[in-house]
Amino acid sequence: MRALAMQAAPGEGPLSRQTLALVDALWEPAWLVDAHTLRVLAINAPALALLGRTRADVVGQLAEALLDTPEDLAFWAGLQGPGGDTELLSRTLLLQADGQPLHVERRIHRVDLPGEPGLLVVSLRDMTPERRALDERDTLIAELRATLESTADGLLVTDLDGRIRAFNRRFTQLWRLPDHLAGGQDEAVYAWMLDNVQEPEPYQRQLQAIERGALVPATDRIVLRSGQVLERVMHTQWSRGRPIGRVWSFRDLSERLAADQRIETLSTIDTLTGVPNRRQLTQKLAAAIAEAQRRHGRLALLLLDVDAFKQINDSLGQGIGDRVLVEVSQRIRHALRGGDLVGRVGGDQFAVLVHHAGAEAAEHAARRVLRATEAPYEIEGAQFTLTCSIGVALFPDAADSAHDLLRRAETAMQAAKAGGRAGFRFHHANTHDDEVRKRVRLDHAMRQALAQQRFRLHYQPQLDLASGRVVGTEALIRWKDAHYGDISPGEFIPVAEASGFIVQIGDWVLGEAVAQAAQWHRAGRVLPVSINVSALQFQQSGFVTRVSRALAQAQLPPALLELELTESILVRDAAEALERLQALAALGVRLAIDDFGTGYSSLAYLKRFPIDALKIDRRFVRGLPDDESDAAIVRAIVQMAHALGLRVVAEGVELPAQRDFLAGIGCNMYQGFLFAPALEPQALLERLPPTP
């Protein structure tokens, strides 16, 4: 009944005007409910706006119609009857007219005014903005959490006073934080950390700095007891221009340090041979020099260069070249004493540091190394030998720094090369530079001499030991220089070999000697000419062609030309040498091995090559016939050469007794001052019987 009356005249029912005005005056959405019937008595404009209803829709309706959940019914029921709570605060969801949910905070207050029915004042606060902010905050926190967990660094977040706000899983892993500390009890976590660093001091120092209010980012390294190395960075968190806390990040450096270590190793070790590279060797050398300086000690540096390594590479291929370097490095290492050090300082260059060594010990070391590197090599089926040149520089005699000592050893090595390779030279502080300068001058003069045709060939007769007749000649180069006077081939040939100019000289000799022999031949003399061929010349790819072209040009029967080769040609690159020798033999020229006995090849080794003759080196002839060992050697060479079908020529015969001994053991030919030195062509002819 009463409800109907209210509906008919809102604001004029049981409620006074003041009460109604009060509700309308409220800023917040509110309505009044009859506490007894639970029907809405009045509602203000903000509430209608919020709910999207009209006053007519609402007033007189049961209050629960404005609500949506079943719990609300119970709630309203609980309010019925006097003695209920006078005030209730709750959060709830309202359904708006368009069905949209609305988060509200609802306050219900019971008011019992004299003369009016029990009233429930319902007021709402729209919680949507707060709710949205809360949602956003939750999302943000979740995102931050995910970020915190997704970094590879361990993170510890604290407030300005060091109270722990958060840390991530990586942090617990890095520090091996036990489970019971995962909750983050500040003191216990800090104690654990302090306990697990190897040197707590820097750690404590940093904490103190922080206590003093240090805010700049600080980075340092800490080493855990486990050996693990962590990089630690402290950042200050700022908010609106004020520091609000700190983030500590911990990064595991162990892996990076291990990688650094590997790089360090790589950059000090030669990757091919596994011995120290130039950098490390120089460092070690500098350290050894410093040490020797302190103790007034000495040391030696050997610089070794493989002779003609380029040819090994060119002819056998780089793969074998590499293996040669590996083997050379191993042989050097084995030839050294324990503390001595070998390093690869260049393509085919090795340096050897010999501790506590004076000249004598250095020489021993050099000889050991030479011997070790000269033994035959067999790599991938290729057999060959090689030689090395070594320069020796002594501390403190030659230089007193690693750099200078290396340089001195290098110039000494170059002198060893110029001196014919396959040996060693000491660096001599004063004479050395002069030597180099002289060599450069000589090389220059030689080039001029060739251009200006100042070279001549002289011919030394070779005699048949049985008949005593001249049966051949050896062409020997002569250089008369206006400025230098006579220069012996023993002096300039090695320089030409070192500089490569020997190739041009050799070309000239070939042409000249062949022309001379052809001239004799045309004049009716069968007088073979032998020419000396340097290894470098022989190894030129066009060599065989050059020989055949020279023969054709001069129209000389090939059998009248003999090439004197050195043993080093055979042993250096056996396969290619064999091929080339076969090509020359096929041309019909004769081949002889010069200075036999001074090199490395054995007679058995010679069997493989198409050789016609051996020339026994002068130094074995010198002692004949009295020196027993010379006599035995020469006898053995002759016997074995004959067994192999080779002719034997003895060089440097100066005495009749030498000639007679050689004739007695069946040696085929000889040459020497006994009969004649090398002569000009005209002088030679005068020594020969007239042509028939």
Summarize as ranges the residues that interact with ligand C2E (CB under 6 A). Answer: 460, 476-477, 488-490, 493, 506, 509, 532, 534, 564, 594-595, 618, 651-654, 671-673, 677-678
Cβ-based nearer residue to ligand C2E, 476 or 611: 476
Cβ-based nearer residue to ligand C2E, 59 or 634: 634
- Residue 172 makes contact with Mg ion by CB under 5 A: no
What letters, b where the CB count within 10 A reaches 16 and e where it falls short, cover 542-557? ebbebbbebbeebebe
Nearest to 507 by CA among 478, 545, 474: 545
Cβ-based nearer residue to Mg ion, 110 or 618: 618
Q: Which does 396 bind (CB under 5 to 8 A by kind): ligand C2E, Mg ion, none?
A: none
Cβ-based nearer residue to ligand C2E, 34 or 651: 651
Distant-in-sequence, close-in-space partners of 145: CB < 8 Å, separation ≥ 6: none
Q: Which does 534 bind (CB under 5 to 8 A by kind): Mg ion, ligand C2E, none?
A: ligand C2E
Site for Mg ion in 636-665 (CB under 5 A): 651
Dihedrals phi, psi of 386, to nearest 5 degrees:
-145, 170
Q: Which does 389 bind (CB under 5 to 8 A by kind): ligand C2E, Mg ion, none?
A: none
Cβ-based nearer residue to Mg ion, 23 or 638: 638
Q: Angle CA(403)–CA(405)–CA(409) in degrees, nearest 5?
A: 120
Q: Which does 13 bind (CB under 5 to 8 A by kind): Mg ion, ligand C2E, none?
A: none
Rounded to an integer, what distance in angstroms lies between the CA atom of residue 312 and that of residue 539?
11
Cβ-based nearer residue to ligand C2E, 340 or 594: 594
Query: Least separation, in Å, of the C-beta of 334 and ligand C2E?
Result: 34
Cβ-based nearer residue to ligand C2E, 524 or 656: 656
Query: Least separation, in Å, of the C-beta of 681 and ligand C2E?
Result: 15
Q: Which does 493 bind (CB under 5 to 8 A by kind): ligand C2E, Mg ion, none?
A: ligand C2E
Alpha helices, DSSP H only, in 236-347? Answer: 254-266, 278-295, 309-316, 318-335
Angle between helices 489-499 and 402-418 in degrees, nearest 10 = 120
Residue 435 burial (CB count, 10 A) = 17
Query: Least separation, in Å, of the C-beta of 568 and ligand C2E?
Result: 12
Query: Least separation, in Å, of the C-beta of 313 and Mg ion?
Result: 29
Distant-in-sequence, close-in-space partners of 618: CB < 8 Å, separation ≥ 6: 595, 651, 652
Interface residue with Mg ion, options 340, 497, 567, 594 (CB under 5 A):
594
Report how many residues bind Mg ion under the rule CB under 5 A: 5
Rounded to an integer, what distance in angstroms lies between the CA atom of residue 411 and that of residue 427?
7
What letters, b where the CB count within 10 A reaches 16 and e where it falls short, cover 125-141? ebbeeeeeeeeeeeeee
**Both tokens assigned to 422:** 């396959």
Q: Which does 665 bind (CB under 5 to 8 A by kind): Mg ion, ligand C2E, none?
A: none
Query: Least separation, in Å, of the C-beta of 286 and ligand C2E?
Result: 43
Angle between helices 402-418 and 278-295 in degrees, nearest 10 = 110
Query: Least separation, in Å, of the C-beta of 608 and ligand C2E?
Result: 23
Query: Least separation, in Å, of the C-beta of 641 and ligand C2E?
Result: 17
Query: Least separation, in Å, of the C-beta of 549 and ligand C2E?
Result: 18
Confirm if 76 and 104 have CB atoms less than 8 A apart: no
Rounded to an integer, what distance in angstroms lies between the CA atom of residue 513 and that of residue 335?
45
Query: Least separation, in Å, of the C-beta of 651 and Mg ion?
Result: 5
Rounded to an integer, what distance in angstroms lies between the CA atom of residue 177 and that of residue 186?
13
Rounded to an integer, what distance in angstroms lies between the CA atom of residue 176 and that of residue 170?
9
Q: Which does 489 bind (CB under 5 to 8 A by kind): Mg ion, ligand C2E, none?
A: ligand C2E
Cβ-based nearer residue to ligand C2E, 10 or 652: 652
Nearest to 684 by CA among 456, 408, 406, 492: 456
Confirm if 478 and 458 have CB atoms less than 8 A apart: yes
- The DSSP secondary structure of 487-518, one letter per residue, reads E-HHHHHHHHHHHSTHHHHHHHHHHHHHHHHH
Cβ-based nearer residue to ligand C2E, 7 or 540: 540
SS3 content of the chain, % helix, strand, coil (to 5): 45, 25, 30
Cβ-based nearer residue to ligand C2E, 39 or 615: 615
Q: Which does 252 bind (CB under 5 to 8 A by kind): ligand C2E, Mg ion, none?
A: none
Rounded to an integer, what distance in angstroms lies between the CA atom of residue 327 and that of residue 320?
10
Q: Which does 230 bind (CB under 5 to 8 A by kind): ligand C2E, Mg ion, none?
A: none
Query: Least separation, in Å, of the C-beta of 667 and Mg ion?
Result: 15
Query: Least separation, in Å, of the C-beta of 462 and ligand C2E?
Result: 10
- Residue 595 makes contact with Mg ion by CB under 5 A: yes
Cβ-based nearer residue to Mg ion, 10 or 461: 461
Taking CB positions, which residue lies at the least distance from ligand C2E?
672
Cβ-based nearer residue to ligand C2E, 59 or 529: 529
β-pairing verdict for 154-159 and 613-616: unpaired
Cβ-based nearer residue to Mg ion, 270 or 630: 630
Distant-in-sequence, close-in-space partners of 198: CB < 8 Å, separation ≥ 6: 222, 223, 224, 225
Q: Which does 509 bind (CB under 5 to 8 A by kind): Mg ion, ligand C2E, none?
A: ligand C2E
Query: Least separation, in Å, of the C-beta of 386 and ligand C2E?
Result: 20
- Residue 564 makes contact with Mg ion by CB under 5 A: yes
Half-sphere exposure of residue 159: CA atoms within 13 angstroms, side-chain side? 4
Residue in the block written with tokens 């000495």: 298
Q: Which does 245 bind (CB under 5 to 8 A by kind): ligand C2E, Mg ion, none?
A: none
Residues that bind Mg ion (CB under 5 A): 532, 564, 594-595, 651
